[in-house]
Chains A and B, each alone.
Chain A
Amino acid sequence: MGRFLLAASAVFLLALLVVTAPTGREVASKDSQAVHQSPVVDETGLRTLQARYKALSKQLSQLMPNQPYILVDTARNRLYVKRQEEVVLDAIASTGSGTILDKPGESNNQWIFDTPRGEFLVQSKVTNPTWIKPDWAFVEEGLDVPKNPAERAEQGVLGEYALGFGKGYFIHGTLYTRLLGKNVTHGCIRLNDSDLKGVYKLARVGTPILIF
């Protein structure tokens, strides 16, 4: 009886070993890096590499703004206010038309109505802004550029708020809400009243604006 039990146990253990033995390497998925094994893995070197990678990854993440920022997608005419990865506000916008206008009296010199790309900062916040029309606004209409600065001022066309980000570019409101979602502006970024108010409340002077 004892011998029988011993033999049965041995068979059972053998069967267990056979069933749980590894069947082979996983096949790497087609678009991932190949899983290849270095013949000799230097543990210390690997740990050093891992630590270096983590440190660099951390450094990179620390460059991200830790405050809300504005992201403008000029191709799809969207404006987002984000806090790290979270979208706090998602707005339809209008950005630069990309059209050109010749400067009178200056050969080979033109205005190009693009929304600038890159990183900017909110430099000013204004309520009930007055549009001080630049030269192109008159030239475009076929009008003479006025000598009197007072003739440039136009009220009520920029909405209730404006956020300036340098070189005359603003995020502001519009009377032409039907054109939101299209590239129709002279470079500024237009929003509807409700989104503009939201952006105005969320942004401060110094808030980053990323435009691509």
Chain B
Amino acid sequence: MNLCAILLLLLTFAVPSWGKDLEAFPNLNFNDPISLKEATRVLEEELKLAARPQTYLLIDLVTGTIHIKSRGMELHQMPIVRWSSGSREELKGVHRLVARPQVVRRKIEPGAGVEQEPISLTDMPVDYVLSFAPGLTVSVVPLAAKDNLLQGIVFLGKSWWRSFKNWSGTVATDQLSATAAHLQLTISVDHAQSLAWSMVDGMPLVIRRPTDK
């Protein structure tokens, strides 16, 4: 009886604490070695970022989600409607933001006594390019409202033009080389503005790539 009690006690302390260890990618196919390799690669890269006091971006092309994270925790997420890219091989690694769309800041006139309209989410661009080093551009294309045909045509046209320019080796808003990898994300207008707001210079980015061909 005493032995049983001792064994039970030992077993209790040996059981790992539940609830603390969260699954990094809950939808992962655990029996697919290729998916596991990709998930492991992303985790290795994310661990280096999460070890430092910073926010970073994880674009998960498997689940179609953009995550703003810190210390391995999700701070905010935005769904991707659709995406396209060139070579997926070049999406590997950690990339850092080097250029983003400029936001016009309002200047305070001293003593004017007039409150300046502050910056808000609605001031953020909806259709823009984020440039990362080494060699990656991420184009954000907004999803047009369903009942706004003109807006849809404009966004589609811009998207095609940008794709053409990338294909022909030039980038609309930056001087990156023609060999830069390219990822295009279509997300809602609100999320496009939210993403633009959240980007800070030097922000690291990791991309989880799908493993289907």
In the complex, the answer to whether A99 meets B62 with C-beta atoms within 8 Å is no
Q: Which of B65-101 contact A (CB under 8 A)?
A: 68, 70-73, 75-76
A61 at the interface (CB under 8 A from B): yes
**Bound state CA distance, A75 and B111, in angstroms?**
28
**13 A–B contacts, CB within 8 A, in A order:** A31-B63, A32-B27, A53-B39, A58-B21, A60-B24, A63-B71, A64-B72, A74-B197, A75-B121, A84-B19, A98-B105, A119-B55, A212-B76
**Bound state CA distance, A23 and B169, in angstroms?**
49
Q: How many A residues have CB within 8 A of the partner chain?
A: 57
In the complex, the answer to whether A56 meets B55 with C-beta atoms within 8 Å is no
Q: Name the contact of A140 in the complex, choosing from B25, B47, B108, B119 (C-beta under 8 A).
A: B108
Collect the chain A residues with CB atoms within 8 Å of residue B51's CB: 63
Cβ distance A126 to chain B, nearest Cβ, rounded Å: 23
Q: A64-B71, A75-B194, A98-B118 are in contact. Are A212 and B33 (CB under 8 A)?
A: no
In the complex, the answer to whether A118 meets B54 with C-beta atoms within 8 Å is yes
In the complex, the answer to whether B37 meets A118 with C-beta atoms within 8 Å is no
Collect the chain B residues with CB atoms within 8 Å of residue A98's CB: 103, 105-106, 118-119
Collect the chain B residues with CB atoms within 8 Å of residue A76's CB: 121
Q: Name the contact of B75 in the complex, choosing from A33, A58, A71 (C-beta under 8 A).
A: A71
In the complex, the answer to whether B197 meets A119 with C-beta atoms within 8 Å is no
Q: How many A-B residue contacts, CB cutoff 8 Å?
A: 163
Contact with A along B8-40 (1 / 0, CB 8 A): 000000000001111111011111111111011
Collect the chain B residues with CB atoms within 8 Å of residue A120's CB: 53
**Bound state CA distance, A183 and B118, in angstroms?**
6
In the complex, the answer to whether A182 meets B111 with C-beta atoms within 8 Å is no
Cβ distance A60 to chain B, nearest Cβ, rounded Å: 4
